[in-house]
Structure 1
Amino acid sequence: MSLRFLAVAACAVLLVACTSRPVRSPLPPELLAAAEARQLAREQALRAQPDWGLQGRIAMSVDRNGGSGRVDWRQDGHAFTVELSAPVTRQGWRLSGGPGWAQLDGLDDGPRSGADASELLYDATGWLIPVEALGDWVRGLRAQAAGPAEVEYGADGRLQRLSQGGWQIDYSWPPVEAGGGMEADRGASVLPRRIDARREAVSGPQARVRLVVDHWNLSMEASAGAASR
């Protein structure tokens, strides 16, 4: 795996009031309204629990280049640390940051630091993708810093597709617990198990990232449980 791939994957993996425009849903109007109300309540509850983490697997492609690896993301309020490693090549890096600062480790010429994580990644790798957005997207939230969003809900009332900031994110969720219905998913089941994000650029490269979550940490599971009640 090249450093360029690692940097691009970093951007994608590091991938209130947002304007929302729900579109194309199989739900009738009354259920669509209920799904949107539930999503808004879920977002509010999850944002009130700012400490979380995940471990998982990532596959990334940019135009005809790509690769895969493992990701470990730890969030402590506004501060984050994201580690990506490729076991086969034994390559890896770490991006850490918070409001007004960021540091990228694992580069051949040593660590680099800057005031903005996105700009730091762009200066080091040539890629500029919003770092902040995926911290929300991976949890099934509309990103606060990415502008207006369009959302679609599935037949079970859960978020199925999110389009925001030039990206389209499709969601896969754990099965609904016995009993069915929108109110049946409790605890960790309200957390995505996979996202498939695509960037269709008018100019420049096209990008795709698939992130499979193997484990959400306990504090995140607890917050998700609170969000579904």
Structure 2
Amino acid sequence: MTPRLACLALLAGALAACSSVPERPPARTAVLAPEARLAAEARLAERESVVRALPAYGFAGRVAMSNGRDGGNGRLDWRQSGASFSVALTAPVTRQSWRLTGDPDRARIEGLDGGPREDSDVVRLLWEATGFDIPVAALAAWAAGMRAEPARFGEAEVEFTADGQLARLRQNGWTIDYLDWQSDAAGSVPALPVRINAAREAARVRLIVDAWMPDSSDTP
């Protein structure tokens, strides 16, 4: 078995041991009147400014991933500090896990067969190690209901619900659907998404956030 197949087998086994992430249809988008559209875009820009100003934030939840052939579910713990990230995926039953750390210049994955692996491109690192297409650098922004940096990921298209809530975001070939949001925000932090679907071609990522830590001091 090649190192990549061994890594994929371990990751698939870890994922399969965890609880499932149920699917839900996407939110219904609406064509807003020009004034309502401008107001929704202004609210989105304002909430992005608030979240980006946080020194660090994080979330814990459940994730399901698929590449069109293989997939499964796992527990996810994400910590973000600026552009630096620390992501842990675990399977409580088997105690198998892997950990990904990095920033825009480098990334390291640990816990898979063959020992730690590093690369300057985190997407390439995950693809070569596991066979999964996971947009890590952009996913931190998308998970928080924000557009990722246009300089790196291109301009984003957004759609809203009839009441002006962000419902869908398209960027870098990915479509991100926001299915549910917090009912209450924490302090001055705006409400954050708690159920997100992301897809590009055969790649699928479904995320349910059980807890947001918008003032997390546990930096990567």
TM-score by length of 2: 0.77
| SS across alignment from 1:63 | coil
Q: Distance in 1 between matches of 2:153 and 2:205?
A: 18
Task: Quote how far apart the aligned CAs of 1:218 are.
Answer: 4.6
Q: Select 1:213's aligned residue among 188, 192, 209.
A: 209
Q: Distance in 1 between matches of 2:55 and 2:13?
A: 26
The aligned amino acid for 1:159 is: L
Other-structure match for 1:191: 192
Q: Distance in 1 between matches of 2:107 and 2:212?
A: 24
Other-structure match for 1:146: 153
Task: Quote how far apart the aligned CAs of 1:117 are.
Answer: 1.8
Other-structure match for 2:19: none
Q: Distance in 1 between matches of 2:182 and 2:78?
A: 24
What whole-Å deviation, never above 9, does each CA across 1:136-186 have from its counterpart, x for those lacking one? 100011111211211100112110001111111110233657xxxxxx997
How many residues of Structure 1 are paired with residues of Structure 2 in the alignment? 194
Other-structure match for 1:26: 31
| SS across alignment from 1:134 | helix
Contact 1:149 1:164 in 2 (8 A): yes
Q: Select 1:165's aligned residue among 167, 172, 175.
A: 172
Other-structure match for 1:11: none
| SS across alignment from 1:156 | coil
Change (3 A) 1:146 1:95: same
TM-score by length of 1: 0.75
Cα RMSD after superposing both structures: 2.7
The aligned amino acid for 1:76 is: S
Q: Select 1:132's aligned residue among 126, 130, 137.
A: 137
Change (3 A) 1:212 1:176: closer
The aligned amino acid for 1:123 is: E
Q: Select 2:43's aligned residue among 38, 42, 50.
A: 38
Residue segments in structure 1 that go unaligned for 5+ positions in a row: 9-23, 178-183, 201-205, 221-229
Q: Distance in 2 between matches of 1:5 and 1:158?
A: 35
Question: Is 1:66 aligned to residue 71 of structure 2?
Answer: yes
Change (3 A) 1:175 1:32: same
Contact 2:67 2:133 in 1 (8 A): no
Change (3 A) 1:153 1:133: same
Residue segments in structure 2 that go unaligned for 5+ positions in a row: 1-7, 16-28
Other-structure match for 1:81: 86
Task: Quote how far apart the aligned CAs of 1:28 are.
Answer: 1.7
| SS across alignment from 2:193 | coil
The aligned amino acid for 2:196 is: I
Q: Bigger CA drift: 134-143 or 93-102?
A: 93-102
